[in-house]
Chain A
Amino acid sequence: MIEAVGLTKRYGKTLAVDNLSFTVPAGRVTGFLGPNGAGKSTTMRMILGLDAPTGGSALIDGKHYRDLHHPLRTVGALLDAKWVHPNRSARAHLQWMAKSNKLPAKRVDEVLEIVGLTSVAGKRAGGFSLGMSQRLGIAAALLGDPQVLLFDEPVNGLDPEGILWIRKFMHRLAEEGRTVFVSSHLLSEMALTAQELVVIGRGKLISQSSTEDFVAQATENTVRVRSPQLAALRTALGRAGVSIRDEGESLIVSGMDCAEVGELAASTGAVLHELSPQRGSLEEAFMQLTGDSVEYHTEIADGQVPATLVPAGK
């Protein structure tokens, strides 16, 4: 189990992580979701004791990372697949890590086998493709057969086959009862991979819930309604206790379907110019939730933001 309590990290004037508290349970894949620059990597580095928090603490099974004896046996992490010396072979990279935590040398060959890198184990890691580097990173994370695993954007830049492999792999790790904490800026990816979601934006916690709940809540269906008697309709809808928001000349109603809105309009005597159901995509919902908390905005007119323009790149 990973536990963050009031975790805070300040770089000069910017607050990268702001009083963040959440728990990551064992036996589930927990997604760590947020736009780029939301503080996901910083949080993971603080969990691993690489960065010192300005305030609060991150605990793994109740202990600080620095206090773990032979930490690779408790926590495996892949924060960046490129954290390898390019002239060192994959096997040599794993060998020194194994040695440092007194793991048997044969464990290196086992994890190479698990990730399917046995045939290139003697090759220099600098020549690896991104997919191979990710596999090497995962092999390193698995070395100590740890109960807690952290992965930072593991599918970034992978081809569909690689993405599928990693997704299945994480599920297997969680089914074995391990704690799996995986970050991503793509909700669509997390919806498939994670059972639990910790969502952050600008370093603050937005929600922690099961993925199911989050998606259901985030993609709530709405109804768009246009009418010359908009004011009267608004009052009637307000009385009915549904949530309304303005969008140009129309109202967006959530918590009521088209039929109900139509009937309400008829009883109010309002003429309808439009009555249409709106189905939000996961990405739009995510953007809406984290919209205010995106660090680097792209200036594109409302409703024109394709999912692929969630600020990309790490």
Chain B
Amino acid sequence: MTLLAVERMKLFTTRSPWWCAVLALAVTVGFAALMAGTASAESPITIAATQFGYGFGLMVVMVMAALAITTEYRFSTIRATFQAIPNRTAALLAKTTVVALLAAVIGEIAAFGSWGIATVIEPTADLAINTPFEWRAIAGIGAVYGFAAVIAVSVGVLVRHSAGAISVLLIWTSLLENLIMLIPRVGRDIHQWLPFNVAHQFVTGDPDPSARAIQDGPGLSDAVLSPWPALAYFAGFAVVLLVIALTVANKRDA
């Protein structure tokens, strides 16, 4: 508990998490407002459509999480940290936990904020949260942000440079996973198992909404897992990456 309190103090006494949180909320809620504002009688706003901006918020949250650790390397406060807490695994686990919790909270506020602003702009639309799919589409975003933050912290520990870690994360999520589909024959099969695509399945998948129009929500995942196993797979991927990062951090000179 002490270590969690320490990492909380460290996180909130710098400015970048605040800026990132504000930015993440602005892009997600802003997108929802845009979707609600442009909805019409023929194509009314849906719950899925209120979450159009979640992918952008996800990137901002991962930048926040990566910065939380890479700035420690940048300013060598990681050495002060390991000096105070020589058990590196404990120190880094505490940091990961605090950052992931913050990411999850940002995710929930972003998701419910997006949904909320849509209900305000379009009070007549059917935005009641009823089905498991609708709950996942909104409340599930916090879980995806949380595990994505674990991935971002792990990459940050491994790469140690802010620009490098952020480049890896952004290229991976916004380019690489889609480019892999271009590989002949096997590309699509590989893509089905790529972590962010699978995480997307948790938010957008089942009951199969493939018949819906494009404006009804974020693009769909082609992952074959059903939603809850998809989340477990994403979480498992995050944990494996974290274990690798911790092992490396313990071996390496600080």
Residues of chain A at the chain B interface (Cβ within 8 Å):
45, 48-52, 65-66, 68, 71-72, 77, 79-80, 82-89, 92, 95-97, 99-102, 140
Contacts and interface: CB of A to CB of B under 8 A. Distances in A.
A92 B8 CA distance: 12
Given A66-B86, A88-B13, A102-B2, A82 B76 contact: yes
B16 to A, nearest CB: 8
B232 interface: no
Given A65-B86, A71-B86, A82-B75, A140 B13 contact: no
Given A92-B9, A92-B13, A84 B253 contact: no
B83 A77 contact: yes
B6 A99 contact: yes
Contacts of B75: 82-86
B80 to A, nearest CB: 5
Contact of A89 (B10, B13, B80, B84): B13
A80 B76 contact: yes
Interface in B78-135: 79-87
A82 to B, nearest CB: 7
B interface bracket (residues with beta carbon within 8 Å of A):
20 to 34
A65 B88 CA distance: 13
28 contacts: A45-B253, A48-B83, A49-B83, A50-B79, A50-B82, A50-B83, A52-B251, A65-B86, A77-B83, A82-B76, A84-B75, A84-B80, A85-B10, A85-B14, A85-B71, A85-B75, A87-B14, A87-B15, A88-B10, A88-B13, A88-B14, A89-B13, A95-B9, A96-B9, A96-B13, A99-B9, A100-B81, A100-B84
B86 A83 contact: no
B254 interface: yes
Given A82-B76, A83-B76, A92-B13, A99 B5 contact: yes
B15 A49 contact: no
Contact of A83 (B2, B5, B77): B77
